[in-house]
Amino acid sequence: MTAVSPATKAARQEQIAGILAQVQVRSQEELAALLADRGVRVAQATLSRDLEEMGAVRLRGPGGVLVYALPTGPGGPGSRPGGVGTAETEAAFTGTLPRVAAELLVSAEASANLVVLRTPAGGAQLLASALDHAGWPAILGTVAGDDTVLVITRDPAGGAAVAAALLRQAERKAEERRA
């Protein structure tokens, strides 16, 4: 599957976050040039607003040079939804996902690459957000309603493994809290 980025603010900010995660960018002009290389044209004022909205800061890099950086805690402000990676399934359970899953996950059922998660009323959005920000390579994305989350896995037969891992980790975290 090929990734497609529309010409939206969210897509532009995702491109900016990707660049800042990979390259030490010293100036807005340098960032604008890197975006242009990716086919994204942006005015300096727009780029400045994007960096401010994203919480970008300038930190001292190697050699004392100031470079742009974004907040990085998984699931926290400024964190990015997960992407493709090679980490093991269980490695996704960092940050807020174990706690949120232990508190909200009522059931998980899989069919092919789909997983249906049930939560108490009003809990689906929080669980979906925690999953999105966990950086779990097996998950392509989520769709949340009020009490149901639909998880789409990258592997056409990966739903059962994701459902089992979620249930296992939620139970483990709940047991830790009781102890």
Rounded to 5 degrees, what are φ and ψ at 37? Answer: -60, -25
How far apart (Å, rounded) are the C-alpha atoms in residues 179 and 177?
6
Strand partners for 117? 108, 149
> Rounded to whole angstroms, how far apart are CA atoms 175 and 177?
5
Secondary-structure breakdown of the chain: helix, strand, coil percentages, each rounded to the nearest 5: 45, 15, 40
Closest CA to 95 of 137, 47, 131: 131
Mean pLDDT along residues 166-171: 88
pLDDT at 29: 96
Does residue 173 register a pLDDT over 70? yes
Q: What is the pLDDT of residue 132?
A: 86
pLDDT for 8 beyond 90: no
In percent, the amount of the chain with pLDDT more than 90 equals: 42
Q: Is the pTM of this model over 0.85?
A: no
Yes or no: say if 97 and 126 are a contact pair by the CB < 8 Å rule.
Answer: no
The predicted-structure confidence for 95-113, as pLDDT tens digits, reads as follows 678 888 888 899 999 999 9
**Is pLDDT above 70 for 59?**
yes
Domains of the chain (ranges plus CATH)?
A: 9-69 (1.10.10.10), 89-178 (3.30.1360.40)
What pLDDT shows up at residue 95? 66
Per-residue pLDDT tens over the stretch 137-155: 899 999 999 999 999 999 9
